[in-house]
Amino acid sequence: MTKILGLGHSHIVAVAKGCYELQHERFQLGGAPLVSRFLYLYDPALTPTLDEESGASRLNPRLREIFDDERPDGVVLSVGGNEHIALSVTQPKERFDFILGSEPELELEPGAQVLTEAAVRETLREKMSPTLATIAAIRNETAAPIVCLEPPPPLPNSRILECPQEFFRKSFDSRKLSGEVFRYKMWRAQSALYREVCARADIFFAAVPAEFIEAPGVLADIARGADASHANALFGRRMIQTAAALVEPLLANGRR
Amino acid sequence: MKTHPYSKRPDYALWRRAVADVAPGEIDPMVEAPFRLGVREKVATAGSCFAQHIGGYLKSSGCNYLVAEPPHAFISEQAAQALNYGLYTARYGNIYTSRQLLQLFERAYGRFAPVENHWREGDACVIDPFRPQIQPGGFNSARELDYDRERHFEAVRRAFETLDVFVFTLGLTELWRSREDGAAFPLCPGVAGGDYSPERHEFINLGVDDIVADMTAFVERLRAVNPGARVILTVSPVPLVATAEPRHVMMSTMYSKSALRVACDLLSRSLGHVAYFPSYEIVAGGYAPTDYFAPDRRSVTQAGVAHVMRVFERHFIKRNAAGEALRGALRALAPVRAAPPEDPVAAAMRLMCDEEALSLERVEAPSVAASQAEAEPAPQNESGEESAAQEPLANEPEREADPADPQNHRLVD
């Protein structure tokens, strides 16, 4: 059997569901049936995720034990991933937008202050520092191939309006809601930071397949979960398949 | 006893009483400032790197430090610092020369648009030739730079039009400019962006007359948009990091600082609303009993900066009980603003994850037995990991799930 260990926050749920579906179908990885275990990193038994006493560079001792016990052949991560939503679902009083360097043709919101992409990225980086540090710490814990799964793109505003309680404890002013193109750009900016940490730490990055992104940059209807920020098992299944394709050559060559 | 012009000079005019007999750290070359800063008066700063010390002091001492280009509310404090917000009154980076300062004014008011306005570094990086280090990594496109620059110029105009006092630290006389239109660059093209070309760029070393002309023109323009503006000039004691003149860098440093110092003297004598403050004399005059340079002989030590700011405070800060109370309140407020009780993003993350965590409990994982029954025989590798692969992995997600789910470098000369 080929063991994978999945770790993450809320998006890991859809991934786990998709993975289990594949296991039911006797999915093979590295020439052997896939088995998996998924850990939810907000589990009180596993928090704080980073061992703060050792300078925040090592995982929680319980997580380290799990790595030692499981000795996984591969690791999939869906750590964090909602930071872009938290930062972009509504606009501050003075609305802002930015030019996405990789897709500069995307529209800018009329009247919004245009910030630099670097300002957005560096702010995201600060907010994502626990996520990015966790990914780096996981890399330090295992020599197994690791795949970081790109979180799903934003869901459409209509979903947010259907489920505002997911984001707001009180009622909110829908006029403050950000545009979908803007939210898509924030997601892309977030993904750039994942890619950066992956490149530094020898971690594969599994991008969301294009067919799961529909205009103007939201999660495709077929991949949406039940709420306004998460994907479904189909998405998780496809991400596991993408991750498997990335690590398959290594596993086939005996790097376990 | 005969009398002569020196016989009744005050202590400050006599070397022994003003320097030789003064305790270390107490030498004070300033006699009387022509004006003082009230607690409500808005103070703006610009200049070479030493100006950062002055800005830092003004902020921490509770003065009304003018920030005309604050970061957008979205930008985090750490990101704002990385992107050089707050370093000066506006995000212009270091302004080393009088020519740069005058040029900034002209550009901000649309009177000069340099031909060499963008430096492209590959496909996805554009450097601002006039603020080459303002944004680590540069701008992602010329369009992004143009948006940022437009906003920056708005801030510069707002600063010039609303400041009460402008503190400008002159640092250099050497500069590189465009042969085409004379645009002055803060750094030689090729150093922090752009490509140096002898056909397009030339070196000049400003003389005293140039500096006086530049600064006179600047002050005239400043007072045209802000008739009450006053100016404090000072000369950075930080030596040149390199010279383009065919001579020793120490000689070039001495020339530059001398020319700047003479120009300041001429300006402060001829313009009533311009004062001179002796940073250079305190640190680099060579007369202080304490060495105020770090081992690299360029960086000014904390003790040197503290000495400079003590003298500045003594002569330029207006003191009275009401003003001190207000300054004290401003100082006390600063750390409170910097430490919000809870990070809203972290809170939002937790909020969004609550429901999803619950759903993990409802996921049905394949049983180990089912997996094993359905599995093909697993190949065994050399280290015998096949047996380890038989360990249960997918039977514990429920146990692990729980419903109780709760970043320059700074600019330097």
Q: What is the CATH number of the domain that holds A210?
A: 3.40.50.1110
- Terminal CA-to-CA distance of chain B, rounded, Å? 54
Which residues constitute the domain of residue A20?
2-82+128-168+190-252
8-state DSSP, A54: G
- Give dist(CA B137, CA B272) in Å, integer: 43
Cβ–Cβ < 8 Å for A133, A55: no
pLDDT tens track for A2-22: 999 999 999 999 999 999 999
pLDDT at B380 over 70: no
* ipTM greater than 0.95: no
Q: Is A96 touching B (CB cutoff 8 A)?
A: yes
Is A224 domain-assigned?
yes
Cβ–Cβ < 8 Å for B98, B263: yes
pLDDT tens track for B290-349: 899 999 999 999 999 999 999 999 999 987 766 667 666 666 665 444 444 445 555 455
- Give dist(CA A154, CA A180) in Å, integer: 8
B298 contact partners, CB below 8 Å, separation of at least 6: B238, B239, B241, B413
8-state DSSP, B16: I
Contacts 24+ apart (CB under 8 A), B293-299: B297/B239, B298/B238, B298/B239, B298/B241, B298/B413, B299/B238
Is A230 domain-assigned?
yes
Query: Considering only residues 171 to 210 of chain A, which have any Cβ-Cβ distance to chain B shorter than 8 Å?
Result: none
| Nearest Cα to Cα of residue A77 among A33, A45, A40, A34 | A40
Residue B389: its chain A contacts at CB < 8 A?
1-3, 32, 35, 73
- Give dist(CA B13, CA B19) in Å, integer: 10
Mutate to test the interface with A, among B91, B352, B368 (most CBs of A within 10 A): B352
Q: What letter represents residue A136's amino acid?
A: A
Average pLDDT, chain A: 93
Say if the Cβ atoms of B75 and A115 lie within 8 Å.
yes
Mutate to test the interface with B, among A84, A96, A127, A235 (most CBs of B within 10 A): A127
Instruction: Write out the H or E segment, with its range, that includes residue A207.
Output: none
Cβ–Cβ < 8 Å for B250, B242: no
Is A173 domain-assigned?
no
Mutate to test the interface with B, among A15, A29, A34, A38 (most CBs of B within 10 A): A38
The tens-digit pLDDT sequence of chain A (256 residues) is 999 999 999 999 999 999 999 999 999 999 999 999 999 999 999 999 998 766 657 899 999 999 999 999 999 999 999 999 999 998 888 999 999 999 999 999 999 999 999 999 999 999 999 999 999 999 999 999 999 999 999 999 999 888 887 777 667 788 889 999 999 999 999 999 999 999 999 999 999 999 999 999 999 999 999 999 999 999 999 999 999 999 999 887 765 5
- Give dist(CA B154, CA B234) in Å, integer: 26
- Give dist(CA A165, CA B147) in Å, integer: 36
- Quote the pLDDT of residue A104: 94
Residue A70: its chain B contacts at CB < 8 A?
391, 393
Q: Is A143 touching B (CB cutoff 8 A)?
A: no
Cβ–Cβ < 8 Å for B236, B261: no
- Quote the pLDDT of residue B341: 44
Is A141 domain-assigned?
yes
pLDDT tens track for B58-115: 988 889 999 999 999 999 999 999 999 999 999 999 999 999 999 999 999 999 999 9
Q: Which chain B residue has the Cα nearest residue A114?
A: B147
Say if the Cβ atoms of A23 and B355 lie within 8 Å.
no
DSSP lists the bridge partners of residue B168 as B46, B233
**In terms of C-beta density within 10 A (0-12 exposed, 13-18 middle, 19 or more buried), how is residue B8 classed?**
exposed
Q: Is A86 touching B (CB cutoff 8 A)?
A: yes
- Quote the pLDDT of residue B320: 74
DSSP lists the bridge partners of residue B47 as B169
Say if the Cβ atoms of A1 and B360 lie within 8 Å.
no
Secondary structure class of B243 (helix, strand, coil): coil
8-state DSSP, B27: -
Residue A96: its chain B contacts at CB < 8 A?
72, 74
Is A98 domain-assigned?
no
Residue percentage of chain B with pLDDT more than 90: 69
Cβ–Cβ < 8 Å for B93, B134: yes
Is A148 domain-assigned?
yes
Say if the Cβ atoms of B393 and A227 lie within 8 Å.
no
**Neighbour tally for A181: CB within 10 Å:** 19
**Structural domains of chain A, count:** 1
Cβ–Cβ < 8 Å for B210, B184: no
User: ∠ CA(A92), CA(A93), CA(A95), 5° rounding?
Assistant: 65
Residue B397: its chain A contacts at CB < 8 A?
16, 37-40
Is A32 domain-assigned?
yes
**Neighbour tally for B205: CB within 10 Å:** 16
pLDDT tens track for B202-251: 999 999 999 999 999 999 999 999 999 999 999 999 999 999 999 999 99
- Quote the pLDDT of residue A174: 82
Is A229 domain-assigned?
yes
B358 vs B56, more confident: B56
- Give dist(CA A66, CA A61) in Å, integer: 9
